[in-house]
Amino acid sequence: MNVKNLVILLSFSVLAVSCNRNKSGKSSVTGWNYNDKNMGGFQVAKATDQKTGPGLVFVEGGTFTMGQTEEDVMGDWNNIPRRVSVPSFYIDRTEVANVHYREYLYWLNKVFDPTDPQNLPIVEGALPDTLSWRSELSYNEPMVEYYLRHPGFNYYPVVGVSWKQANDFCLWRSDRVNEGILLQKGFVNKQSLNGQQGADNFTTKSYLLGVGYQPPPGKGATSKKNPLKTPQGQPRTNVTMEDGLLLPDYRLPFEAEWEYAAYGLIDQNPRTSTKKKRGEELVQNRQVYPWSQNPNGLRDVRHGSWQGQFLANFKRGSGDNAGVAGGLNDNAFYTADVKSFYPNAFGLYNMAGNVNEWVHDVFRPLSTLDFDDMPAPTRGNKFQTIVKDPSTGEAMVNDTTGRVVMRDVTDEESKNRRNYQRGNVINYLDGDTASQASYGYGTTTLVSDHSRVYKGGSWNDRAYWLSPGTRRFLEEDQALSTLGFRCAMNSMGGAANGKGTRKTGNQFPTKRSKR
């Protein structure tokens, strides 16, 4: 009997191993093995959760009611409530701080020598507008001179940054993070960091396309232990997106994403029959501020209860930006540290107050009625494509920046498509069948195709603007002392990040992706 049981057990073990191998290492379409040089050498990376990029927090997507939550005291009528769905994504835990932006400026000065007249516009074009602190009737020169540079303000939010500058920062951050991953994994030689100058600098897109500057491979790439192989079974020195190592681009969050993340709506009500959570009722929860339903800070037994208090840096009333000495209400006259106050239920700091934040969207008063309800509702698309060298067919690279050259998709190229017929759809549905309506910027309105949305309220705003549903706009090349930004990133995979095991919010233990 024991021998028989042993035979049965071994049979099941072999079968289990065989099933696992078939599941992960063999095509269910052709029957050919993956990652097998004797069967074609087609490489398939292990399906795993996307690695969380530096500074980011995973936000599980869902459905919520976007827009107005209280009386429209400004009479703008630009945030009519509408239910939308937001796919899962990543967003910065904090606003981008002065020290982070100075790191960006340092890299630009290192790679693009400012003594070269060709590089000067790149370096100077990234500098924040520190003059945005000035006012005709107050003395703010110390903030003009020192706010960006002084170590005392290292971890205070960067301000005076235009939408264009914030967008460029996101592009730079994407390249540095991916370059760092390749360095850590040994696919890029560390000595390459010292040789990058001008157009010869690492960008993710040029690296993936194999054009422009290509960093020399590191020891990990040339080693026989390199897990990446060519079809012939030799170590492969170039990493592709299919290998699962590189991250998607950092970008500015869409307005719907930002608003959804600010509310931090996480279902706390288990179903009595199955003990599982559901969130159908959350779309009706019309909380006004990010901390209203926050399980992390309302009753903190360590520091006492914060119930009923405003957990944000904002202007309480006329002339009241701080409170009374010995009992300051938010401990900040201007901005505050990016990790001030309690984070919301997703673990995000200062989604109300401190500084307003740029989002991706072009402003239109009726955006919520116009854009799609799913996926990733947004306005501001301008479809682009890679410019190719007519003689070689390869992607062209900018001679100054080193970035792959992109161009707008033409209407001629789009006319036969069913899902869109124009390359530039910023003013889509703006008033006539050809969508050529003009807002008459500077004549009849301040809205244009370059007007971008910002949200969240600031240190110099009243409580009304702290509600995530409120919205304002500014031209994309302008800046304010009350306006900063944070970055976001797409989540590749399922709604709950891959296998559906990821939990959100800082009330849960942090989960790290295994590689």
Cβ atoms of 194 and 202 within 8 Å: the answer is no
pLDDT in tens, 498-507: 444 455 454 4
Q: d(Cα 180, Cα 61) in Å, to the nearest integer?
A: 28
Of 187-201, 449-463, 477-491, the one with minimum mean pLDDT is 187-201
Amino acid at 205: K
Query: Could you tell me the pLDDT band of residue 477, with boundaries at 50, 70 and 90?
Result: very high
Tell whether omega for the bond before 253 is within 30 degrees of 0, i.e. cis. no
Average pLDDT over residues 372-393: 89
Q: What is the DSSP string of 15-79?
A: HHHHHHHHHHHB-TTT-PBTT-GGGT----PPP-PPPPPTTEEEE--EEEEES--S--TT-----
Backbone angles phi, psi at 280, to 5 degrees: -60, -35
Average pLDDT over residues 477-492: 96
Query: Could you tell me the pLDDT band of residue 8, with boundaries at 50, 70 and 90?
Result: very low
Query: Could you tell me the pLDDT band of residue 508, with boundaries at 50, 70 and 90?
Result: very low
**How many alpha carbons lie under 13 Å from residue 420 in its C-beta half-sphere?**
15
pLDDT of residue 213: 93
Considering the domain boundaries, does residue 383 fall inside one?
A: no
Q: d(Cα 353, Cα 466) in Å, to the nearest integer?
A: 6
Between residues 64 and 56, the one the model is more confident about: 56
Q: Which residues does residue 308 pair with via DSSP β-bridges, in sequence order?
A: none
Average pLDDT over residues 204-209: 95
Query: Could you tell me the pLDDT band of residue 212, with boundaries at 50, 70 and 90?
Result: very high
Considering the domain boundaries, does residue 466 fall inside one?
A: yes
Between residues 486 and 434, the one the model is more confident about: 486
Considering the domain boundaries, does residue 49 fall inside one?
A: no
**Strand pairing of 356-362 and 483-484?**
parallel
Sign of the dihedral through C-alpha 482, 483, 484, 488: positive
Q: d(Cα 514, Cα 52) in Å, to the nearest integer?
A: 11
Question: What 8-state DSSP symbol labels residue 12?
Answer: H
Question: What 8-state DSSP symbol labels residue 431?
Answer: S
Between residues 14 and 428, the one the model is more confident about: 428
Residues spanned by the domain of 140: 56-185+245-270+290-373+445-490
Q: Which burial class, exposed, middle or buried, applies to 123 when counting CB atoms under 10 A from its CB (0-12, 13-18, 19+)? A: middle
Sign of the dihedral through C-alpha 261, 258, 287, 309: positive
Cβ atoms of 397 and 211 within 8 Å: the answer is yes
pLDDT of residue 286: 67
- Number of neighbouring beta carbons within 10 Å of residue 171: 17
3-state secondary structure of 256: helix
Residue 24 has pLDDT above 90, yes or no: no
Q: d(Cα 401, Cα 283) in Å, to the nearest integer?
A: 45
Report the share of the chain in percent with pLDDT over 70: 82
Q: Which residue has the tokens 């290292």?
A: 154
Nearest CA among 76, 69, 59, 95 for reference residue 367? 76
Considering the domain boundaries, does residue 473 fall inside one?
A: yes
pLDDT of residue 37: 82
Residue 62 has pLDDT above 60, yes or no: yes
Considering the domain boundaries, does residue 31 fall inside one?
A: no
**How many alpha carbons lie under 13 Å from residue 362 in its C-beta half-sphere?**
17
Average pLDDT over residues 428-452: 78
pLDDT in tens, 280-309: 555 555 678 887 665 554 555 455 555 556
Average pLDDT over the chain reads 84
Considering the domain boundaries, does residue 108 fall inside one?
A: yes
How many domains, the chain? 1
Nearest CA among 478, 459, 510, 57 for reference residue 262? 57
pLDDT of residue 432: 59
Two tokens, residue 508 = 């849960």
pLDDT in tens, 127-173: 999 999 999 999 999 999 999 999 999 999 999 999 999 999 999 99
Considering the domain boundaries, does residue 285 fall inside one?
A: no
Q: What is the DSSP string of 211-226?
A: -S--PPP-HHHHSTT-
Q: Which residue has the tokens 């000065």?
A: 109
Query: Could you tell me the pLDDT band of residue 345, with boundaries at 50, 70 and 90?
Result: confident
Considering the domain boundaries, does residue 320 fall inside one?
A: yes
Of 68-82, 458-472, 480-494, the one with minimum mean pLDDT is 68-82
pLDDT in tens, 394-412: 999 999 999 999 999 998 9
pLDDT of residue 318: 86
CATH of the domain at 62: 3.90.1580.10
Query: Could you tell me the pLDDT band of residue 272, with boundaries at 50, 70 and 90?
Result: very low
* CA 38 centroid distance within chain: 41
